[in-house]
């Protein structure tokens, strides 16, 4: 299961400057583990104490994964995973 | 209060024949941004550019007094409705001229209405609260999930399309909706039809003694002064930004790794365009204020600062022992400014104090443009400069006090016919040479200082 992951500027130091990378897995957790294997350091920026970090939003095809099981959210071949910083309020 | 615009021109540095408020709202992008939620340019329900310009003019006058007391040879200050309007749309302008393609802006947005027709605002900064609230009403999972992003981003986009969700609430009585909000942690505030306008825009207290600073080499009112700022989002950073435009050096305390707002798209170079609009030109130091060592570092920096500005949540200053007395101990005479959501008005545990909730509570004519945040920043900076001028050491202002100030101006809604075309594209505005003197072309388009000081 290969998906495309969009990497925000702040995390591109982990991907050699790449804006998007591919990863494989059937859940978001597996995708993040695969990212970590190829781009060390990413996981610690996304996951804290077994859950998505508070300041990170992850979307699978524009849907916030927090509404789809968080790290257990399923992903399928060809999905687009977008990582964005989470900042709310004005 | 009525508007006194003698010291304020309409067009300022904008090379357009702007006749008044309506023209300014049309030409400078306010109608465009406010109208996104309606799908067409729409005037605000108040003379916002005139009100902001009047506040900027008062602020500028205080800054001039302060400059003269310091021996800085400045003799006049001017501002304009157009500069006030551009300040208000600065974040949207920066976002529209960023590197990434602009997001489409589908119309739509709160306030919501109950079955009885009661209008109200809701607010959540946590998706689990959003999910629990809607799940209780049996809302469609997909609509709930897809609604979160536009809801979260409405501060940046000025629109909030939420297909099917308003209809869900419209089927329920207000008492039940209020009960569900309470149970699920959702902030809910009824839209007031009585404008709140008691209380001053800011409160000054304390006395600095004779602390007038000497005359610096540069020629702006606050040149040579240092502002230490620990602020997030809009109101606080904008206050610091205005102080910088008045000449101060602003040092921002950000958490380790930087303020998360720095990385929010759309990006301009390596920084969020909206973040740049509020924070360009500031110096930054990364400090973890949740640790004793970090707090000591902040106090060390305060020893050479003239102003300490924060917009922390209620109780944070006490928890961190960074109260006015703590700062005054290391730096006697320092101006301690707190730009909060609600001030002390709603007690120690107020609802979430964001722009749209405060709009609803205070009865400001509603907009998904961040009109209270921006005005709150202006009011806070006004309070700080007034404190410097009068030798006060403490400034308390809030979104609520700013909303009260907005409401205190007469609601006269100019209805004169437009004499200029309505801007419906901020990218075109940014590239229009007639705006060139009011804008700065950088990685994205930034708005110049709203004041001109002359010696």
pLDDT tens profile B65-105: 999 999 999 999 999 999 999 999 999 999 999 987 666 78
Consecutive H or E run containing A63: strand A63-64
Are residue B361 and residue B275 in the same domain, yes or no?
Answer: yes
Q: How high is the mean pLDDT of chain A?
A: 89
Distance from CA of B155 to the nearest CA of A (A): 6
Tokens standing for B144? 């709930």
pLDDT > 90? residue B183: yes
Residues in contact with B248: Cβ distance below 8 Å, sequence separation at least 6, in sequence order: B222, B223, B225, B226, B227, B306, B307
As a whole number of angstroms, the distance between CA B227 and CA B258 comes to 18
Residue of B287 and A89 predicted with greater confidence? B287
Are residue B204 and residue B347 in the same domain, yes or no?
Answer: yes
Alpha carbon distances (Å) from B371 to A68, B129, B321: 34, 26, 32
pLDDT > 60? residue B6: no
Residue of B106, B134, B135, B145 for testing the chain A interface, max A β-carbons within 10 Å: B145
Q: Mean pLDDT, to the nearest integer, of B226-243?
A: 97
pLDDT of residue B422: 97
At B45, is the pLDDT very low, low, confident or very high (cuts 50, 70, 90)? very high
Distance from CA of B229 to the nearest CA of A (A): 17
In a domain, B234, yes or no: yes
Q: Under an 8 Å CB criterion, which residues of A touch B?
A: 8-10, 55, 57, 59, 62-64, 66-68, 84-90
pLDDT of residue B1: 41
> Could you tell me if B125 lies within 8 Å of chain A, comparing CB atoms?
yes
CB-nearest to B373 from A84, A88, A90 is A90
In a domain, B133, yes or no: yes
Residue (of B214, B238, B270, B234) closest to B100 by Cα position: B270
Are residue B413 and residue B273 in the same domain, yes or no?
Answer: yes
In a domain, B107, yes or no: no
Are residue B290 and residue B309 in the same domain, yes or no?
Answer: yes
pLDDT > 70? residue A73: yes
Are residue B201 and residue B185 in the same domain, yes or no?
Answer: no
pLDDT of residue B2: 40
In a domain, B3, yes or no: no
Q: What count of residues does chain B have?
A: 455
Are residue B149 and residue B264 in the same domain, yes or no?
Answer: no
At B199, is the pLDDT very low, low, confident or very high (cuts 50, 70, 90)? confident
B 266-285 → A contacts, CB under 8 A: 267, 270
| ipTM attached to this prediction | 0.78
Query: Domains plus CATH for chain A?
Result: 2-85 (3.10.20.30)
CB-nearest to A67 from B144, B152, B263 is B144
Do B155 and A88 make contact, defined as CB atoms within 8 angstroms? yes
- Write the pLDDT tens digit of every residue in B117-171: 999 999 998 888 999 999 999 999 989 988 998 998 899 999 999 989 999 999 9
CB A72 within 8 A of CB A30: no
What percent of chain B has pLDDT above 90?
82
pLDDT > 80? residue B209: no
Output the domain CATH number for residue B300.
3.40.50.10540
Are residue B186 and residue B228 in the same domain, yes or no?
Answer: no
Are residue B338 and residue B282 in the same domain, yes or no?
Answer: yes
Residue (of B102, B97, B101) closest to B429 by Cα position: B97
Q: How high is the mean pLDDT of chain B?
A: 93
Do B127 and A66 make contact, defined as CB atoms within 8 angstroms? yes
Are residue B241 and residue B269 in the same domain, yes or no?
Answer: yes
Of B190, B205, B237, the one marking the end of a domain is B190
As a whole number of angstroms, the distance between CA B412 and CA B434 comes to 29
CB B48 within 8 A of CB B403: no
Number of structural domains in chain B: 2
Per the structure, the complete domain to which residue B270 belongs is given by: 8-101+197-454
Of B190, B216, B241, the one marking the end of a domain is B190
pLDDT > 90? residue B114: yes
In a domain, B73, yes or no: yes
pLDDT > 60? residue A89: no
CB-nearest to A64 from B127, B232, B263 is B127
Of B131, B165, B190, the one marking the end of a domain is B190
Do A87 and B146 make contact, defined as CB atoms within 8 angstroms? no
Distance from CA of A87 to the nearest CA of B (A): 6
pLDDT > 90? residue B14: yes
At B226, is the pLDDT very low, low, confident or very high (cuts 50, 70, 90)? very high
- Write the pLDDT tens digit of every residue in B306-351: 999 999 999 999 999 999 999 999 999 999 999 999 998 888 889 9
What percent of chain B has pLDDT above 70?
95
Do A89 and B233 make contact, defined as CB atoms within 8 angstroms? yes
At B409, is the pLDDT very low, low, confident or very high (cuts 50, 70, 90)? confident
In a domain, B1, yes or no: no
As a whole number of angstroms, the distance between CA B211 and CA B66 comes to 12
Q: Which residues of A touch B127 (CB under 8 A)?
A: 64, 66-67
Are residue B28 and residue B157 in the same domain, yes or no?
Answer: no
In a domain, B443, yes or no: yes
Four-CA torsion B128, B130, B133, B136, nearest 10 degrees:
-70
Are residue B225 and residue B316 in the same domain, yes or no?
Answer: yes
In a domain, B39, yes or no: yes
Are residue B168 and residue B82 in the same domain, yes or no?
Answer: no
């Amino acid at each position: 299961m290969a998906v495309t992951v969009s990497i925000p500027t702040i995390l591109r130091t982990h991907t050699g400057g790449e804006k998007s990378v591919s990863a494989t897995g059937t859940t978001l957790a597996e995708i993040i583990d695969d990212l970590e294997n190829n781009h060390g350091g990413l996981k610690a920026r996304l996951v804290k104490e077994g859950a998505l970090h508070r300041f990170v939003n992850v979307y699978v095809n524009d849907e916030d994964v927090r509404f789809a099981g968080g790290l257990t959210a399923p992903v399928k071949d060809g999905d687009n995973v977008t990582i964005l910083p989470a900042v709310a309020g004005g | 209060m009525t508007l006194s615009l003698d010291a304020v021109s309409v067009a300022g540095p904008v090379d357009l024949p702007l006749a008044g408020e309506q023209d300014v709202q049309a030409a400078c992008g306010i109608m465009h941004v406010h109208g996104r939620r309606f799908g067409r340019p729409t005037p605000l329900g108040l003379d916002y550019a005139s009100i902001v310009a009047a506040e900027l003019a008062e602020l500028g006058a205080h800054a001039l007094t302060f400059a003269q007391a310091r021996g800085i040879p400045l003799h006049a200050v001017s501002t304009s409705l157009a500069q006030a309007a551009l300040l208000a749309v600065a974040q949207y302008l920066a976002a529209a001229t960023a590197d990434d393609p602009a997001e489409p802006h589908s119309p739509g947005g709160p306030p919501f209405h109950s079955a009885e027709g009661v209008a109200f605002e809701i607010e959540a900064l946590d998706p689990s609260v959003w999910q629990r609230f809607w799940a209780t009403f049996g809302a469609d999972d997909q609509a709930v999930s897809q609604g979160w992003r536009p809801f979260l981003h409405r501060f940046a986009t000025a629109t909030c399309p939420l297909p099917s969700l308003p209809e869900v609430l419209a089927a329920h009585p207000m008492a039940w909706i209020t009960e569900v909000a309470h149970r699920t942690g959702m902030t809910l505030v009824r839209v007031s039809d009585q404008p709140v306008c008691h209380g001053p825009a800011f409160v000054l207290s304390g006395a600095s003694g004779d602390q007038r600073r000497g005359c610096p080499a540069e020629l702006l009112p606050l040149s040579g002064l240092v502002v230490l700022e620990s602020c997030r989002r809009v109101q606080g950073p904008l206050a610091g930004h205005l102080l910088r435009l008045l000449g101060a050096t602003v040092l921002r305390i950000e958490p380790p790794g930087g303020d998360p707002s720095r990385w929010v798209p759309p990006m301009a170079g390596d920084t969020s365009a909206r973040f740049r609009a509020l924070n360009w030109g500031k110096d930054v130091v990364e400090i973890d204020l949740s640790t004793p060592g970090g707090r000591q570092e902040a106090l060390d920096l305060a020893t050479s600062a003239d102003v300490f500005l924060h917009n922390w949540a209620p109780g944070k200053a006490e928890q961190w022992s960074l109260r006015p007395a703590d700062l005054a101990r290391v730096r006697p005479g320092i101006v301690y400014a707190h730009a909060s959501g609600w001030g002390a008005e709603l007690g120690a545990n107020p609802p979430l104090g964001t722009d749209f909730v405060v709009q609803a509570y205070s009865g400001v004519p509603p907009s998904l443009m961040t009109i209270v945040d921006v005005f709150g920043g202006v009011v806070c900076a006004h309070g700080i400069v007034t404190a410097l001028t009068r030798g006060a050491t403490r400034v308390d202002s809030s979104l609520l006090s700013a909303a009260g100030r907005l409401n205190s101006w007469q609601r006269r809604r100019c209805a004169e016919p437009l004499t200029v075309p309505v801007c419906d594209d901020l990218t075109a505005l940014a590239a229009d040479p007639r705006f060139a003197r009011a804008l700065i072309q950088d990685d994205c388009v930034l708005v110049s200082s709203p004041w001109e000081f002359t010696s």
